[in-house]
Every structure is written in C-alpha cells, then in structure tokens.
Amino acid sequence: MTSSTTQPSPPGIDLYWIPLGAGGSGFVRLNGRIYEAIQARLERRRPLALYHTALQVHVPEGRSVVETTWPIPDADTGSRGVVVEGAVFSRRLARLRTFRYEVRRWHDGVLPDAGEAVGGPRRVSDDAGQARRLLQAVRSVPPLVWGRDELRSGQMWNSNSVIAWLLVSSGVPMEAIGPPEGGRAPGWDAGIAAACRDAPA
C-alpha cells in the first residue's frame, strides 16, 4: 500500500490577475464596465478588461492568502486573517461595515476566485526573504480611503494599490509585472507611488 502527501510549494510569491467581478453576482462586473467605458471615453481609447489582484505567499511555515476585499462580509474578521481595515469613499461613513474594506493575511486561507485568474498563478518572486518581508508588511499597509486619490498620484486607492504597495515594499522588482494583454488594474500605480513615498530616504 502506498501513501501520497502533498508537497509544500517552494518559498515565493504568486500573483493572481482575477477579472473584476469574477465569481460574484454581476453587480461589481457591471459597475466596472461602466467605469471603464467612461474612463476610456475620457482618455480617447478603447475599453480594456479590468483586473483585481491577490497573492498567495509561500514560506516554510505554510501558505497565506493576501487579499483586499470590500465590503466586509461580517464581523468575524479573525476567522479570515484580517489585519487592516480602511474606509471606503469617506472616513465619516467607515463606522458602517458596508463602507469599510479589509486587508487579509490569511494563513492556509481561501482565495475564492483563484480558478478565474487569467494565466493562473504567476510567480513574481522565488525569494524566501521577500516572501517573509511581504507577510510582515501587511500590518503596515496604509489604510487610505478606497476610491479616493489622497496621494494625488492620478489613480484612486483600491485593492490593486494594496497589492502593488506590498510587492514594492518587500523588494519585488516591478518592471516586468503587469496585467494580462488587453487589460489594466486601476489603482496599481497608486500603490507604487505610496510605497515609494513610504520608503526610507
């Protein structure tokens, strides 16, 4: 009789490019299409596919999902590894759960839409040190207001901003990282700008 065991993944960081609204009710997808149609018209270009990003981070101690979601589904934040919360649209409204987002560092967590990611997981680092730094950095994500450009970077802060901020802050080279062809990730550049602002002089 033979037995099989699941081998842990090598240390590193996997990035997922998930179509906006994948696996949802269609409300997010529809609003994303309307937003992109308006942006494309203003910028005089064709509409592009929009993406939401998430990470799976592998270290010898195990795997963690790092993701930003909104709205917060319920008050049981500990069960899904929430370490940071921020306001959506307005800090005044953040007392309501509907107007807060959460950043998760979820050990052995679930990434519900991982199967929808275009191209599957994309390994952006094989460096165990970078993976550890990223997990440590999650608690330090700046809780900027989702949907606003508080940094005047030209892009609003959102889930993609958080992922970009974490990658830059952990030392992952960003030059070759970008959304699938024909798509874009609103907020990505805002995260890079925030990480560069926060970097030690």
- CA dist., res. 195 & res. 169, Å (int): 6
pLDDT digit string (tens) for 96-125?
Answer: 999 999 999 999 999 989 999 999 999 999
24 — pLDDT class (breaks 50, 70, 90): low
pLDDT digit string (tens) for 144-184?
Answer: 999 999 999 999 999 999 999 999 999 999 999 999 999 99
pLDDT of residue 90: 94
- pLDDT at residue 22 above 90? no
pLDDT of residue 28: 65
pLDDT of residue 1: 41
21 — pLDDT class (breaks 50, 70, 90): confident
Q: Per DSSP, what are the bridge partners of residue 69?
A: 102
pLDDT of residue 42: 85
Q: In terms of pTM, does the model score above 0.85?
A: yes
What is the average pLDDT value for the chain, to the nearest integer? 90
